Amino acid sequence: MRYLEHRPQLSLHLRQVDPLIRQLTLYRDLIQARSQQDSTTLNEEPPHEPA
């Protein structure tokens, strides 16, 4: 019974979680955009220099 009386409250309110979700979403989008940019750069052929 002591555990129930002394356990820490773990409830997070939406006001606390929402900014975290927004930042993680922005970070995910940035990583996705950079990954696509890197993959298109890798797929391009290097310019041919005249011999």
Alpha helix stretches (DSSP H) within 1-51: 2-6, 14-43
Residue 46 has, within 13 A of its CA and on its CB side, a CA count of 3
In tens digits, the chain (51 residues) has pLDDT values of 565 666 666 677 888 889 999 999 999 999 999 999 888 776 666 666 665
Give the residue among 35, 37, 16 at the shortest CA–CA distance from 27. 35
Sequence letter at residue 12: L
C-alpha distance across the termini of the chain, in Å: 84
pTM value is 0.54
